[in-house]
């Protein structure tokens, strides 16, 4: 059960990054925010105006810091509660001293993870898809990810889902009118037909939204490129060279040989995750076998494979033996160690999606990176911006579409009760998508549109 706004705890937290830092921002939200500020300072700044204030310990009167203070009386705030921000000097002891005082103010406690956003959601300031967009915005590593997260935060999917839900409620109102008020003179006879027409349009639109090749999810995760090939071809060297470029935004993690080494790249604003499966090797150890299995599965699910070969051996005939290959859809051929043959004038003729490089000297790397960037751009910028960015969205939309499909299958001659039930299920699924399931408003629509009950 949702607590009344006034008896909720007031929460506080350090909302800025790691200390020490130039500035540390402590946020406060809840009914005792004003009391907290009054404990620390003689006079509150004007609402929504920054004011420089001496923060003092309430007992010793010691000046703890001079801080910029912002006071935001609710409900026009992010959480819809009273809120404040203290912009402190970002030293550990400064922040600790101020947090200690906040901890002894009655009604205050440290916030839990995500609690400010949770309150914003519970108090109706954000819908669920916007909350998810906010989470993505904070974790966005590239420009394209930022743009997609921002669209979600601003309600691209949430707004659409809410419009769909409203239209569905309108259709449902027609059917319910048939059920509840069929003896009334001014209820038109055929209401199921128009309701099903609306359902068909919605079903088409939702279906179209779902046929997006998972672009939204892929943009969140990054385009996955696996580096594979025979031992000593230079796979690790290639990965390291790519990671050392300016484009690399996250250094390789995971140290053990049996794990996949992963590097996140920002290629022209698009996220690309490179996997080096060099460590994938057979083992008797069951724990290692599990690691190998997971590494293989990860690589097998990659969007693209860079198959690396030693240029000297690939000039001849190498039997490519790899079980990954059979499952993979897309593969580019990379002839490595070109430095060994270029001086001798032995040039390999490279076809499209075939590259000649030297991971050692960097030769040919620009062309490879440019091709990867182009490929990412092609995958991510095809078509409209994705509405669906998570499996949860997909599941709830699928649920809504299925219910609409069942309503349509019932047809205009079916029982109103059955059709209404499917439309209700569809509306509920859409309501779950945005996190606001309510059924009360169906009646409101009936009364507004039909003037029944006069």
Would you say 136 or 356 has its CB closer to ligand GDP?
356
Stretch that binds ligand GDP, among 217-225, 333-341, 392-400, 437-445 (CB under 6 A): 333-341
Count other Cβ atoms within 10 Å, centred on residue 184: 12
Nearest approach, Cβ of residue 278 and ligand GDP (Å): 4
Stretch that binds ligand GDP, among 21-29, 116-124, 215-223, 334-342 (CB under 6 A): 334-342
Name the region of 99 (left: φ>0; alpha: ψ -120 to 50; beta: rest). Answer: alpha
- If one asks whether residue 119 binds ligand GDP (CB under 6 A), the answer comes out as no
User: Can the peptide bond before residue 429 be classed as cis, meaning omega within 30 degrees of 0?
Assistant: no
Would you say 14 or 225 has its CB closer to ligand GDP?
225
Site for ligand GDP in 241-280 (CB under 6 A): 278
Closest alpha carbon to 172 in 442, 362, 450, 451: 442
Nearest approach, Cβ of residue 322 and ligand GDP (Å): 12
Structure tokens at 10: 């007031």
CA 219 to each of CA 47, 263, 288, 374, 382: distance values in angstroms, whole numbers, following the listed order = 40, 16, 31, 15, 12
8, 220, 235, 264: which one contacts ligand GDP (CB under 6 A)?
235
Nearest approach, Cβ of residue 373 and ligand GDP (Å): 21
N-term to C-term CA, the chain: 36
Stretch that binds ligand GDP, among 57-65, 94-102, 336-344, 399-407 (CB under 6 A): 336-344
Nearest approach, Cβ of residue 288 and ligand GDP (Å): 18
Nearest approach, Cβ of residue 350 and ligand GDP (Å): 15
CA 297 to each of CA 12, 275, 286, 386, 429: distance values in angstroms, whole numbers, following the listed order = 43, 12, 16, 26, 32
| DSSP secondary structure, 104-119, as one string | HSTTEEEPPTTHHHHH
Check if the beta carbon of residue 79 is closer than 8 Å to that of residue 114. Answer: no
Would you say 166 or 232 has its CB closer to ligand GDP?
232
Distance CA 27, CA 86 (A): 6
Distance CA 267, CA 242 (A): 11
**Closest residue by beta carbon to ligand GDP:** 234
Distance CA 330, CA 353 (A): 10
106, 231, 286, 345: which one contacts ligand GDP (CB under 6 A)?
231
Nearest approach, Cβ of residue 260 and ligand GDP (Å): 13
- If one asks whether residue 312 binds ligand GDP (CB under 6 A), the answer comes out as no
Check if the beta carbon of residue 166 is closer than 8 Å to that of residue 438. Answer: no
| DSSP secondary structure, 312-367, as one string | HHHHS------HHHHH-S-EEEEEE-THHHHTTT-PPPP-TTEEE--TTT-TTHHH
Judging by DSSP bridges, how do beta strands 63-72 and 83-89 pair with one another? antiparallel
Stretch that binds ligand GDP, among 178-186, 224-232, 267-275, 345-353 (CB under 6 A): 224-232
Would you say 286 or 316 has its CB closer to ligand GDP?
316
Stretch that binds ligand GDP, among 1-9, 233-241, 288-296, 375-383 (CB under 6 A): 233-241
- If one asks whether residue 38 binds ligand GDP (CB under 6 A), the answer comes out as no
- If one asks whether residue 178 binds ligand GDP (CB under 6 A), the answer comes out as no
- If one asks whether residue 337 binds ligand GDP (CB under 6 A), the answer comes out as yes
97, 99, 180, 232: which one contacts ligand GDP (CB under 6 A)?
232
Q: Return residues touching ligand GDP (CB under 6 A).
A: 229, 231-237, 278, 336-337, 339-340, 358-360
């Amino acid at each position: 059960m949702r607590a009344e706004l006034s008896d909720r705890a007031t929460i506080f937290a350090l909302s800025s990054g790691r200390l020490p830092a130039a500035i540390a921002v402590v946020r406060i939200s809840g009914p005792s925010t004003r009391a907290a500020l009054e404990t620390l300072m003689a006079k509150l700044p004007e609402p929504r105006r920054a004011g420089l204030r001496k923060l003092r310990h309430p007992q010793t009167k010691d000046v703890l810091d001079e801080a910029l203070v912002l006071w935001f009386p609710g409900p026009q705030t992010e959480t819809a509660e009273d809120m404040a921000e203290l912009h402190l000097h970002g030293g550990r002891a400064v922040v600790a001293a101020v947090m200690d005082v906040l901890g002894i103010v009655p009604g205050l406690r440290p916030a839990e993870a995500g609690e400010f956003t949770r309150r914003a959601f519970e108090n109706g300031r954000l819908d669920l898809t916007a909350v998810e967009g906010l989470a993505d915005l904070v974790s966005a590593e590239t420009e394209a990810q930022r743009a997609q997260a921002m669209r979600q935060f601003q309600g691209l999917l949430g707004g659409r889902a809410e419009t769909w839900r409203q239209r569905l409620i309108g259709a449902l109102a027609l059917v319910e009118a048939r059920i509840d008020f069929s003896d009334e003179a001014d209820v038109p006879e055929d209401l199921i037909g128009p309701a099903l027409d609306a359902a068909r349009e919605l079903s088409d639109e939702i279906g179209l939204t779902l046929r997006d090749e998972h672009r939204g999810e892929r943009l969140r995760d990054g385009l996955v490129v696996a580096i594979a090939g025979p031992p000593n071809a230079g796979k690790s060297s290639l990965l390291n060279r790519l990671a050392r470029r300016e484009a690399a935004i996250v250094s390789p993690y995971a140290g053990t040989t049996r794990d996949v080494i992963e590097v996140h790249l920002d290629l022209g604003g698009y996220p690309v995750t490179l996997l080096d499966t060099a460590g994938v090797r057979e083992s008797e150890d069951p724990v290692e076998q599990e690691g190998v299995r997971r590494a293989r599965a990860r690589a097998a699910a990659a969007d693209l494979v860079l198959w690396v070969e030693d240029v000297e051996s690939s000039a001849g005939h190498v039997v490519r033996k790899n079980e990954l290959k059979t499952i993979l859809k897309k593969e580019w051929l990379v002839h490595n160690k070109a430095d060994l043959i270029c001086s001798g004038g032995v040039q390999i003729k490279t076809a499209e999606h075939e590259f000649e490089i030297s991971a050692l000297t960097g030769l040919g790397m620009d062309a490879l990176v440019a091709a990867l960037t182009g490929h990412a751009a092609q995958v991510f910028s095809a078509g409209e911006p994705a509405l669906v960015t998570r499996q949860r969205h997909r599941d709830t939309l699928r649920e809504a579409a299925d219910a609409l499909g069942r309503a349509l299958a019932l047809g205009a001659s079916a029982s109103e009760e059955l059709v209404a039930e499917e439309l209700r299920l569809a509306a509920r699924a859409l309501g779950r998508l945005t996190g606001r399931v309510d059924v009360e408003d169906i009646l409101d629509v009936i009364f507004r549109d039909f003037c029944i009950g006069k």
